[in-house]
Amino acid sequence: MRTFSTAVQTVINSDNIKFFYLIRLQFSVDYYFTSYPSDIVYDGHTYLADGGLFEFDSPKYSTVVDRESYKIVIADLDGAMAAEFRTNVIGRPIDVKVALLDSNGLPLTSTTDVLSIYKGFVDKPALDIDFDKKIAIIEGTSPMSDLDMVRSFQTTKSGMDQKSSTDTSFDEVFDDKEISMKWGKV
CA distance linking residue 21 with residue 58, whole number of Å? 10
- The predicted structure's pLDDT at residue 62: 60
**Angle, CA of 111, 67 and 153, to the nearest 5°:** 120
Q: Mean pLDDT of successive 10-residue segments in the chain (186 residues)?
A: 85 90 95 95 95 80 65 89 92 93 93 90 89 88 60 66 75 68 72
- The predicted structure's pLDDT at residue 56: 81
At 85 the three-state DSSP class reads helix
Would you give the DSSP letter of residue 160?
G
- The predicted structure's pLDDT at residue 168: 76
- The predicted structure's pLDDT at residue 177: 66
Computed on alpha carbons and rounded to an integer, the radius of gyration of the chain in Å comes to: 25
